[in-house]
A and B are shown apart, each in its own frame.
Chain A
Amino acid sequence: MEVETIVTEKKELYTPTISEIVAVETLTETEKLFEIALPGGEMLNHKPGQFVEVSIFGFGEAPISICSSPTDLPTFKLTVRRVGRLTAGMHRLKEGDRLGIRGPFGNGFDVEAFKGRDVLFVAGGIGLAPLKSLIDYTLAKRDEFRRVIIVYGTKNPAEILFKQDIEIWQQDRDIEFHMTVDRADAGWQGNTGVITTLIPGLNLDAPETAVAVVGPPVMYKFVLMSLKSKRIPDENIFMSLERRMKCGVGKCGHCQINSVYVCQCGPVFNYPFVRSLEEAI
């Protein structure tokens, strides 16, 4: 049959790269930290804020944010909360076990927008995980940024992630670290209250402060209001939005917010753009 035909180049969109878990650390009752190596010493070459699709054959596949900085080579790290089928499967894996990786996907944070400025990180709960890729990047290139301010809130002290890092951040005089829990327990000495209670007290150079916000959906509205009252310009605010990024390549439709595929244009968005998306927050 002589026909004009579509010529198809085969590109692997849906097949994973089998990678090895080189370390597992238990962070909390529900969160574990996995350090993963691609085969043959290959680098993931990700940007802070990007994600990978993790799969275990028989359990399926799910998007997970990368929580390590690209400066932290040659492996990468994922913080995984046990919430579904795949993550429950992951929690049973040990050092030396293997899993499938696709990616990295998404846009990641535009680090240039943060360089030379004061940087404010606002992390709610597990939102600290994706943000940590940018925090670690900032700390690795500390000279390229001005003040580093980290604001972190969790529901209760038991849910605090990265305790060792936090200790270092608290002691480092080059980092301003503030933390709160919604509900304290008997041993808690620090602040109590939702994360927005920490923002009014910050002394900020508003026009020269770039903000990265990651947290549960309900948090954004209130954090954005607090930032607004600190006179932070909208275009200085970046946020990472959670959605069901099933395929990672802009086909399956699950992560769509209005016309936008989060896996392609996100998950990191600049606030003025988010305002134009009715469904975003």
Chain B
Amino acid sequence: MNQNNFTSLRQLKKVFFDERTTRGFISFLSDRAKVIAPCKKGENSYSFEYIQNPDEVVFDYPRTIQPLKKFFLPPRETLFNFNTRENSFSEPDIESEDRIFFGVHAYELQGLLRLDHCFEEGHPEYNYLRRRENTLFIGISYTPDDWHFSRSVGIEIEKLEGFCLYFEPLDSGFLVFIVNEAGKNLVELFGKGAEIDNDENFALVEKNFRVKIKFHHNRLPQVFENVYYSKVWEEISRKCLGCGTCNLLCPTCYCFDVRDEIELDATTGKRERFWDGCMLNSFALVAGGENFRDPLSSRTRHRLHRKFKYLADSAGDLFCVGCGRCSKYCPAKINIIDIINDLIGDFAGQQKRVLI
């Protein structure tokens, strides 16, 4: 399995870093740019943070709580500051600083690449794209846990797209695969680490990634086209709390709302953009009182149709990257894998009826 990515990985140039060299490398990166990497947050939770010290970086982690989107689409952001008396406004500068993201999983970067599509197409959005300038991504391999299913949505562990370097852990350190010129430059400048011959043999073992979705990912848009009236939506809505946690944690959810905040002087203030979620009841509510997506079942259906149908049709890729966050952190313990499999069951049932 994993033939393509795994084979292409084997063909790349690589060096070996032991753990100390790896931390030295992070230190080297920190001299050149701001470095963002997974750090320990709680007992069993991790978070992408700006690092001060290479020792903070965690190499082996299942997933961070938040995806990378917060670095490009901040949870709250000032669009402009205004003055009501003068009817004037001024936009804050968005600085484009050099940033290197270290220790990123493939599904994570795939999520970000999908966001890129949404902010580039139609009317390109400066705020997001400006923050995307001058960023490098260094990937790392991971061991899938019960919640991951990125393989089932077409994203292999070793998917290299977007990375400049890719770290594969060995017992004593990392094989560092050089993916592109930027990565090569970094490794050459760093100048440490043992170069490794391509025909040398390593214990490069493919990780076990159980297939969790019953259909091939290519068929999922077709499934979603046929399950709009499925009873599954109603079943989920009996458990769902409509809290929007899945929206907040999803790497490809980017809907937002805009609100004015005014200071106590009643003159100055700011127009802020902040994350919103289609699972929240007020999302499609208009001022006259009409709510165009009121039932919880229709909100769940909309959210998942966006991931597996609407955006998939327009962008060409599924907009679920299989990170498993929405399921792992769902307070109602709703598992997206179960939903998809139930929908597939429904779809397969329809097909059978047609055949009879």
Contact = CB atoms under 8 A, between A and B. Distances in A.
Given A6-B133, A15-B79, A253-B255, A279 B89 contact: no
Interface in B47-83: 79-80, 82-83
| B-side interface size class | 35 or more
A55 B270 CA distance: 13
A87 interface: yes
B87 A252 contact: no
A264 interface: yes
B260 A15 contact: no
B273 A1 contact: no
Contacts, number: 150
Interface in B270-321: 271, 273, 276, 278, 283-290, 292-293, 298, 302, 305, 309-310, 313-314
B130 interface: yes
Contact of A252 (B181, B228, B257): B257
Given A11-B126, A13-B126, A253-B255, A59 B260 contact: yes
Given A4-B182, A258-B310, A279-B292, A247 B258 contact: yes
Given A8-B133, A83-B287, A254 B98 contact: no
Nearest to A247: B258
Interface in B106-161: 116, 118-120, 122-126, 129-130, 132-136
A278 to B, nearest CB: 6
B84 interface: yes
A2 B134 contact: no
B75 to A, nearest CB: 15
Interface of B: 32-33, 79-80, 82-84, 87-89, 91, 96, 98, 116, 118-120, 122-126, 129-130, 132-136, 164, 181-182, 185, 228, 254-260, 262, 266, 269, 271, 273, 276, 278, 283-290, 292-293, 298, 302, 305, 309-310, 313-314
Given A3-B164, A8-B96, A251-B122, 7 more contacts: A1-B182, A3-B136, A14-B258, A59-B260, A61-B258, A244-B286, A259-B310
30 contacts: A2-B181, A3-B134, A3-B136, A5-B133, A6-B129, A6-B132, A8-B129, A8-B130, A9-B124, A11-B124, A13-B123, A14-B258, A15-B91, A57-B87, A58-B266, A60-B260, A60-B271, A61-B260, A83-B287, A216-B290, A217-B290, A217-B292, A242-B286, A243-B286, A246-B257, A253-B276, A254-B255, A254-B284, A256-B310, A258-B302
